[in-house]
Amino acid sequence: MQLRLATWNINSVRLRVDQVARFVAEQAPDVLCLQEIKCREGEFPREAFAEMGLPHLAISGQKGWHGVAIASRLPFEAAPVLDVCREGHARCVGVVVEGVEVQNFYIPAGGDVPDRAENPKFDHKLDFFERLTALMAARDPKAPLVIAGDLNVAPSENDVWNHRYMSKVVSHTPIEVETMERLKAAGGFIDLVRAARPEPEKLASWWSYRAADFRASNRGLRLDHLWVTPGLKDAAWRTGAVSAHIHDDIRAWERPSDHAPVTADLGL
């Protein structure tokens, strides 16, 4: 069977539930990971998701901030809860679907000052990565695991609009890139989007609301990711090539999220 995964920082699921329905109708994800849902569990629009054909829900909500959810066409089991957020925010939720563990993250943005001593938000971001890296290093890389979500780091010079400028800006500073690389190495993770669209192609999944025309401004960052462990490598390449896509056209919809959804297909 084919399992289509999607991740999307929706920036308020209640505000954009109709856009989610349109995306689901057009792209037919089997498992949809959402970040920044900005609601508590009881406020999540469950009926709307059932009508979309995604009735199976795992939600970690928080009043007005953060929040993550996984919506699935297929039944799932709860995955282990990962202790990665020292502040107790709703930033992680996981499920096991068709034998594949999917962990959905909204990693802290990190504020404006890229200094751990001066900026507690930046320290929290790096601490989140470090805790997750330690957990991944203790796991069997052959076990089928997907890391999905808004990881809030653009890792490559081709994942930002201007590498030299952005190297001084939170999301692409050397310490963040190195910290993300340690996480990637700890689990032997494969970046599905980059596997499908290798460098030096420029890619982005986020564009600021400050630009009236995000395409004309063209100052994007690739912050949204779908990674798999080596245990899913054959599944990712089952048809001979990786199928993964950033749906940047959705960023042009009326009143969009500032993030575009990302999809990838696995052949199980």
Distance CA 188, CA 231 (A): 10
Check pLDDT > 90 for residue 63: yes
pLDDT mean over 17-41: 98
Q: Where are the domains of the chain?
A: 2-267
- pLDDT at position 139 is 97
Beta strand segments in the chain, E: 2-9, 31-35, 56-60, 68-72, 77-78, 92-97, 100-106, 145-150, 190-191, 206-207, 220-221, 224-228, 244-246, 262-267
pLDDT mean over 20-32: 98
pLDDT band at 239 (very low <50, low <70, confident <90, very high): confident
Number of CB atoms found within 10 A of residue 235's CB: 16
- pLDDT at position 240 is 87
- pLDDT at position 194 is 98
- The per-residue pLDDT of the chain, averaged, comes to 97
pLDDT mean over 100-110: 98
From the CA atom positions of the chain, what is the Rg in Å? 17
Distance CA 181, CA 233 (A): 19
**Over the stretch 139-194, which tens digit does the pLDDT of each residue have?**
999 999 999 999 999 999 999 999 999 999 999 999 999 999 999 999 999 999 99
- pLDDT at position 196 is 98
Q: Which two tokens stand for residue 210?
A: 């400050």
Name the β-bridge partners of 87. Answer: none
CATH 3.60.10.10 fits 2-267, yes or no: yes
pLDDT mean over 62-89: 97
- pLDDT at position 133 is 98
Check pLDDT > 90 for residue 29: yes
